[in-house]
Homo-oligomer: A and B are copies of this chain.
Amino acid sequence: MDQQIFVQMVLHAWNINIKRAEKFFDSLTDEELLKEVAPNRNRVNYLLGHLIAINDNMIGLFGLGNRSYAHFDEVFVKNPDRSGLDMPDTATLKNDWKKSNAELTSYFNKMTPQDWFSKHNAMTEEDHIKEPSRNKLSVLINRTNHVSYHLGQLVLAK
């Protein structure tokens, strides 16, 4: 019961921030999606791809299945904006954002509180015994803060 409420709290914060970001992306024209958030800083389309890649990474980290956007890591995580690497066009990115969130929601809805409190794949059994507060749910708390961090930057492009 307590665990259920706690999972709800964390998922609620995640969903609110994802919806805020989606509302923002939907409000932009294709041209605005190519704007920088501030002079010489990341462009909106780069941050959009970056958020898709980092969020999609949870599928692997939580052992939920095969990642859908692992091919985004090279251009949107391992390299900075304007690396010269090919980027999907803005319409594709906007659509991928929705697809990726729908997929994550579908996975998350199948997870039990026990799943959320279990260890993720980047830690050992010993790590988890020593620090049970490091678990899948704590990763989602961090990822929510990560969305929020970049959303703060994104709104400056408007």
Chain A interface (Cβ within 8 Å of chain B)?
Answer: 2-3, 5-6, 8-10, 12-13, 17, 37-39, 41, 117, 132-133, 135, 137-138, 141-142, 144-146, 148-153, 156
Copies of this chain, whole number? 2
Q: Tell me the minimal C-beta distance from A120 to chain B in angstroms.
A: 13
* Given A148-B148, A153-B153: A133 in contact with B39 (beta carbons within 8 A): no
Partner of A153, one of B141, B142, B145, B152: B152
Q: Which residues of B contact A156 (CB under 8 A)?
A: 37-38, 41, 153, 156
Q: Tell me the minimal C-beta distance from A94 to chain B in angstroms.
A: 21
* Given A39-B39, A156-B153: A9 in contact with B148 (beta carbons within 8 A): no
Q: Tell me the minimal C-beta distance from A112 to chain B in angstroms.
A: 14
